[in-house]
């Protein structure tokens, strides 16, 4: 979920939403608009792209109104504003207009950093909307969505949902809402499987799990289903790499409780338990063989080979054999 600063009043004169996760950015805007309309149902909302906010436009939008109406001015991609418009915005930050809330959406990189710094110096209410590139981040997002809806879901159910849906936060949020609406009581892995059968089987992580467990036939079946349903080959090689590396990390780690290993290896505790089950039969030589197979497949799907599907099939078979033959591949 989006993280906020201590100043959590959505009607603050300035809200700064920083990041590149579109769903979280849109939610930050909706929260401000909802609060403004709760205070004044006739609130005027102006939602502008960076090229629509030309020099002088902000002054027009924030000029005193005869009816003293509440207004929300949203500026998207603020990092792309022209130099002259940035001057206008900085000048406005020094003397914001009462009853007007300015919402700046900024990608958060080096581009447009001067405006970002000026907004923070002006005491902006800040909402962090980082791109969720790691599976652990998406898992935390799903858990947060269930909590927000006041619903309970098992860790296995949350993981199954991430595996089934993938990286699209909008789809993940929609799936959580659907499950919370349709299911009474605790939501478990079986429920997720019933709702998303086919999608779960097509998951790139399902391919990886079956491969590192040495279940070649099931891994190949999941692979072919994944490709037929449009899963990008690079996502599958990424999942295979993560699966093999997790086994390598855990096999070389000192023994200990899942919580301790989780902190040491940067994995959630539930994953430690899963990888422990998957790593039976693996040796350091097997991990090396599997990593080479993943690297070859990655090159194959990125243009280094004539048949990406064959490259993936070869990698899956090699990994499964490494898992079952103690490295003698």
Stretch 37-54: mean pLDDT: 92
The phi, psi pair for 4, rounded to 5°, reads -120, 160
pTM above 0.75, yes or no: no
Q: Rounded distance, CA 35 to CA 10, Å? A: 6
Q: Rounded distance, CA 17 to CA 4, Å? A: 9
Q: pLDDT per residue over 202-216, tens digit each?
A: 467 888 889 999 999
Q: Rounded distance, CA 102 to CA 123, Å? A: 13
Highest mean pLDDT among 48-57, 66-75, 224-233: 48-57
CB 165, CB 175: distance < 8 Å: yes
Stretch 304-321: mean pLDDT: 89
| Cβ count within 10 A of residue 59 | 11
The pLDDT of residue 326 is above 50: no
């Amino acid at each position: 979920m989006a993280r906020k600063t201590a100043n959590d009043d959505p009607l603050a004169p300035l809200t700064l939403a920083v990041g590149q996760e579109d769903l979280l950015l849109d939610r930050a805007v909706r929260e401000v608009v909802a609060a403004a309309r709760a205070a004044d149902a006739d609130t005027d909302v102006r939602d502008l792209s960076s090229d629509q906010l030309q020099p002088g436009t902000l002054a027009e939008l924030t000029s005193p109104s005869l009816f003293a109406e509440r207004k929300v001015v949203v500026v998207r991609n603020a990092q792309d504003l022209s130099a002259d418009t940035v001057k206008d915005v900085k000048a406005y930050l020094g003397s914001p207009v009462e009853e007007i809330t300015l919402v700046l959406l900024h990608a958060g990189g080096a581009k447009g950093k001067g405006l970002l710094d000026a907004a923070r110096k002006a005491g902006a209410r800040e909402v962090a909307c980082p791109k969720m590139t790691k599976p652990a981040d998406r898992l935390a997002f799903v858990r947060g969505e269930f909590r927000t809806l006041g619903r309970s879901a098992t860790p296995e159910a949350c993981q199954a949902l991430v595996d089934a849906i993938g990286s699209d936060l909008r789809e993940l949020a929609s799936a959580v809402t659907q499950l919370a609406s349709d299911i009474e009581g605790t939501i478990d892995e079986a429920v997720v499987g019933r709702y998303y059968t086919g999608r779960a089987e097509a998951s790139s992580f399902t391919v990886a799990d079956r491969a590192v467990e040495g279940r070649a036939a099931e891994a190949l079946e999941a692979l072919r289903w994944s490709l037929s349903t449009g899963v990008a080959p690079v996502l599958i090689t990424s999942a295979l790499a993560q699966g093999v590396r997790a086994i390598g990390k855990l096999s070389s780690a000192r023994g200990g409780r899942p919580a301790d290993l989780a902190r040491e290896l940067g994995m959630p505790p539930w994953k430690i338990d899963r990888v422990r089950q998957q790593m039976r039969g693996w040796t350091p030589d097997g991990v090396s063989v599997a990593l080479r197979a993943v690297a070859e497949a990655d090159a194959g799907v990125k243009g280094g080979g004539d048949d990406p599907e064959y490259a993936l099939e070869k990698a899956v078979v090699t990994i499964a054999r490494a898992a079952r033959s103690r490295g003698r591949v």
